[in-house]
Amino acid sequence: MLLELKRQKFLVVACLPLGGELVDLGPCETFVLYSELAGKEPVEMPLKDRKHFLARLLGPEDAVEDRRRVLTIPSLPVTHKLREGTRVRMRTMQPDENETVYRMFLAASETGQGYSVDDTLSLRQFRSWFLADAYNVVWEVADSGHVIAFSSIGQGPCARTSKSTVCDSNIVLRPEYQGRGIGIEIAEATERLARSLGYTSVLSDTPAGSHRSADVMSRQGYCVVGVLPNCANLAGHGIVDLLCCYRSIAHMKPFVASDDATHASRL
């Protein structure tokens, strides 16, 4: 398969440890491949093939068995005092908050926080791409209930089994709360949540030139494992490369909440 893809001018841009699973081999590496399609003639796919393709894409059932063991389900909500003094509450996101986090995401992308600007992104698309089949939490100021951030943990976009141990993590912080170290603390807690859910590594991405996002990921120990050319529209920069970043979280302790949710959690 790899030889044939190379003949088709695909380039290997990243390799994910234990990102896939084969029936005869078990868990194995996943190669992330890239090919430039500009200038190639499109081929119309028959309707029956399109339906089959979408069914496979939206409902993968290839895993031999459930290899991602959930370690513990966090007991939310919990209250945590940030290093800069603000007391925040982390809780499960509610369905009626979809539009709130959608607006927060749009504001963050417009300030170059680490996401592409997309003027055509609808609420429905946002729910499908960021929230569906993910573990979603919001962070709110404990005293006022004002939501300042949200984070989601879901299966990685390059995972090739339905129970991959590689996850994708999205974190969005309101622009007015940037530059205070809050993003780092939310990233730390989100990764421990991911470990609790059985994931052992994180594959995420950030546009080249998004210095604040890159700084957070660098401090968290991410390394760039691949570069996708011209895949992001960064505010103030235009079309830029997308950096694929990876780190292992297998060594992390699972998230444990205190018995009394009114006190600081053990993040």
Q: Which residue has the tokens 């369905």?
A: 95
Residue 85's pLDDT is 86
SS3 16: strand
Residue 244's pLDDT is 86
> Rounded to an integer, what distance in angstroms lies between the CA atom of residue 267 and that of residue 252?
11
Q: Total domain count for the chain?
A: 1
* Bridge partners, residue 228, by sequence: 242
205: containing domain: 78-248
Residue 120, domain member (yes or no): yes
User: How many residues are listed for the chain in this entry?
Assistant: 267
Q: Between 12 and 242, where is the model more confident?
A: 242
Helix or strand holding residue 192 (H, E): helix 182-196
Is the pLDDT score of 105 beyond 80? yes
> Rounded to an integer, what distance in angstroms lies between the CA atom of residue 193 and that of residue 139?
14
Q: Between 53 and 203, where is the model more confident?
A: 203
Residue 97, domain member (yes or no): yes
Q: What are phi and psi of 160, to 5 degrees?
A: -115, 20
Q: What are phi and psi of 16, to 5 degrees?
A: -105, 120
Residue 19, domain member (yes or no): no
**Position 82 confidence tier, pLDDT thresholds 50, 70, 90:** confident
Number of H helices, E strands in the chain: 6, 10
> Rounded to an integer, what distance in angstroms lies between the CA atom of residue 227 and that of residue 126?
24
> Rounded to an integer, what distance in angstroms lies between the CA atom of residue 174 and that of residue 141?
12
Tokens read off for 45: 């796919």
Please state, rounded to an integer, the average pLDDT across all residues of the chain. Answer: 76
Q: Between 27 and 154, where is the model more confident?
A: 154
Residue 211, domain member (yes or no): yes
Residue 267, domain member (yes or no): no
Residue 160's pLDDT is 61
> 67: Cβ–Cβ under 8 A, 6 or more apart, which residues?
21, 27, 161, 163, 165
Residue 38's pLDDT is 54
Residue 101's pLDDT is 93
Residue 33's pLDDT is 67
Residue 50's pLDDT is 41
Residue 71, domain member (yes or no): no
List pLDDT tens digits, range 154-186.
Answer: 887 666 666 778 888 888 989 888 878 888 888
Residue 159's pLDDT is 63
Residue 261, domain member (yes or no): no
Residue 226's pLDDT is 83
CATH code for the domain in which residue 201 is found: 3.40.630.30
C-alpha angle 172-174-178 in degrees, rounded to nearest 5: 95
Residue 102's pLDDT is 92
Q: Between 250 and 129, where is the model more confident?
A: 250
Taking residue 120's Cβ as centre, other Cβ atoms within 10 Å add up to 5
Residue 134, domain member (yes or no): yes
Tokens read off for 43: 């081929």
